[in-house]
Structure 1
Amino acid sequence: MGASGEARARRRRPEVTVANWEAVYDFYGPRRRRNWFTYPLLTLVDAIYRPRLRIAPETVAELHRLHDAGVGIIVAANHPSAHDPTVLAAAVFDERVRFLAEGTGLTKDPIFRGPLRPIFEYTGTVPVFRAKNYQGTASEIHEAAAARLIEVCVERLVDGGVVLTFVEGTNSSADDLRTLRLESVKKGVGMMVADARRAGAGVAVLPLGLAYHGREHAGLPPRRAVVAAGRPLLWESGPPPTVDEVRRAVRDGIDDALTAAWG
């Protein structure tokens, strides 16, 4: 294969399955984002959902300070509804914190095998391979794919970028709608923070609480979505935290944000 053929092969969209995780994570990520596509889309999403973002002026100022200083930011939210990805996208498109809309989102891989695939590709979203969707696949394949996903996110954070994630990894249970149990916070967010610190980078987490005052399980876009921001959590010096230390801090931060969202 000549040089031009190799270049075409690198550009070819890979089949999005866990068995093909290496090619998938080499292809997808922030570099696939196209702002000419993303910003008009976010304008439309915001017009449809119009979530109310409750965020203190001092939090806005701190987020801008961190971003200007090159500190990576993880936007960490709960996941009560199927509407959450679009609601979160509209919330961070708020003009006060619009730079967060440049973040790398994570979403389940089946979406990348349907007609919406170009939408997620051009917004720089990265597929997540969930074990429950691949029953019977060898555990070492799941583990390797998960490790590479964390690596992709850490690379983004070390570069001073933003990662958007739902810490539960799936829709909230009924027990997590108004407060979040520690066991519901998966280890991914802790691994991102710990690995970014091991790489010598500062990293912050912005806890967000999503609440729907009715219609959270409706098929139509909810009209009363509220997104509340907690105080940013910062790991900028000292030894890397443990995964569980991060999980506890993030759970507490989201709990405070949920209280504000439901208030």
Structure 2
Amino acid sequence: MDAGAGRIGRALGPGRRRRERPEVTLTNYEAVYDFYGPGRRRDGFTHPLLTFVGALYAPEVRIRPETVTELHRLHDAGVGIIVAANHPSHHDPFVLASAVYDRRVRFLASGTGLTKDPLFRGPLRPVFEYTGTVPVFRAKNYEGTERAVHDAAAARLIGLCVDRLTAGGVVLTFVEGTNSSADDLRTLRLDSVKKGVGQMVRGVRDTGGRVAVLPIGIVYRGRELAKLPPRRPVVSAGPLALWEDPGPAPSVDEVRHAVRAGIDDALTDAWG
């Protein structure tokens, strides 16, 4: 062992060696989620970045006072919260991050974000890694890979999210899994809401946990395809969907219906 390695070992403490960054590919999903599962967020990096991104995009964040009050009640009570948004533009991760950094609901910005895995193989990898984001392996990016591998990776990711939510944490996700079609900009079709959000809610309820979904509608008013950051997008919060009382777990489709209705309400407000 060289002197540098010895210093690292001492800094991390006995038995705590620095974990090597894994190659972020589907076939390596177990190592990827072992690495990102505990979270790689660095607040000293994240907070200045969110301040900069918020100034760059300057979204108009619309959220009712009663929703703010309820979100704080749920968070203080240890209820997991899923922030579930539509996905009209490649700017959305930055706009959503800016919105949850709003001083009224800033605790949401500590949540675990989910984004496509190619972003972890380019120069922006540190941006997503140090903000606590976790990669998602989309089947369309890995055509020809056995279905069992896709299913195993997806199950591992859902399990990671369920653990965060059961512990009273926050997960931020785009329910469509990819950019919106032109048919989903003003209202969201049920088929566009993928099953992941339903699996998270059901997973938490199966453990006896409590969970809420905050639907989010993002609107750019015709600037969603802009290459440069479009100023003043509108981010609107819909009514909360809450599973807090004892009872059977909802079906995945029941959750999808509730989330779709909430995002539709948010989009109606954002376009208004």
2:144 is aligned with 1:136 = yes
Match of 1:239 in 2: 248
Give 2:123's aligned residue.
Answer: 115
| Residue pairs, 1:5-44, within 5 angstroms | 7-8=16-17, 11-29=19-37, 31-44=39-52
Partner of 1:166: 174
User: What is the match of residue 252 of structure 1?
Assistant: 261
Task: Please state how far the C-alpha of 1:231 moved relative to its aligned partner.
Answer: 1.1
Match of 1:51? Answer: 59
Report deviation, 1:115: 1.2
Deviation at 1:212, TM superposition (A): 0.7
Code of the residue aligned with 1:255 in structure 2: it is D
**AA at the equivalent of 1:231:** P
Q: Secondary structure at the match of 1:25?
A: helix
The alpha-carbon deviation at position 6 of structure 1 amounts to 7.6
Given the alignment, which residue of 218, 221, 232 partners 2:229?
221
Match of 1:126 among 134, 150, 159: 134
Q: What is the deviation of 1:7?
A: 4.5
Residues 54 and 30 (structure 1), Cα distance of their counterparts in 2 relative to 1, 3 Å cut: farther
**Residue matched to 2:271:** 262
Percent of counterpart pairs with the same letter?
A: 75
Residues in 2 aligned to 1:62 and 1:118: alpha-carbon distance in whole angstroms = 33
Map of 1:61 onto structure 2: 69
Task: Indicate the residue corresponding to 2:6 in structure 1.
Answer: none
Task: State the TM-score, normalizing by the size of structure 2.
Answer: 0.93
- Give the Å deviation of 1:224: 2.9
1:194 pairs with 2:202:
yes
Instruction: Measure how far apart 1:31 and its partner are.
Output: 2.5
Shift of 1:214: 2.9
Distance 1:245 1:86 in 2: 29
Contact persistence 1:81–1:172 (CA under 8 A): yes
- What amino acid sits opposite 1:139 in the alignment? R
Tell me whether 228-237 or 243-252 shows the greater mean CA deviation. 228-237
CA apart distance, 1:30:
5.3
Partners of 1:71 and 1:158 within 8 A in 2: yes
Which amino acid in structure 1 is aligned with residue 165 of structure 2?
L
The one-character-per-residue Cα deviations of 1:76-115 (angstroms, maximum 9, x if unpaired) are 0000011100000001100000000001000000111111
Where structure 1 has 5 or more consecutive residues not aligned to the other structure, the ranges are none
Distance in 1 between residues matched to 2:169 and 2:254, nearest whole Å: 22
2:42 is aligned with what amino acid?
A: R
| Counterpart AA for 1:198 | D
Runs of 4+ in 1 over 6 A off after TM superposition: none
Letter paired with 1:156: R
Partners of 2:190 and 2:25 in 1: CA distance: 30
**Which of structures 1 and 2 has the bigger CA Rg?**
2
Return the alpha-carbon distance in structure 2 between the equivalents of residues 85 and 31 of structure 1.
18
AA matched with 1:90: S
Q: How many angstroms apart in 1 are the aligned matches of 2:135 and 2:235?
A: 24
Quick one: distance in 2 between partners of 1:6 and 1:142? 33
Q: Any idea what the Cα deviations from partners look like across 1:204-254, whole Å, max 9, x if unmatched?
A: 000000011231111011113000001111011211000000000000000
RMSD of Structure 2 on Structure 1 (CA) = 1.6
Contact 1:29 1:104 in 2 (8 A): no
- The 3-state SS of whatever aligns with 2:39 is helix
Question: Aligned AA for 1:20?
Answer: N
- 1:194-213 equivalent positions in 2, closer than 5 A: 194-213=202-221
Establish whether residue 82 from structure 1 lines up as the match of residue 90 from structure 2: yes
Equivalent residue letter for 2:193: V
Match of 2:184? Answer: 176
Give TM-score, length-normalised by structure 1.
0.96
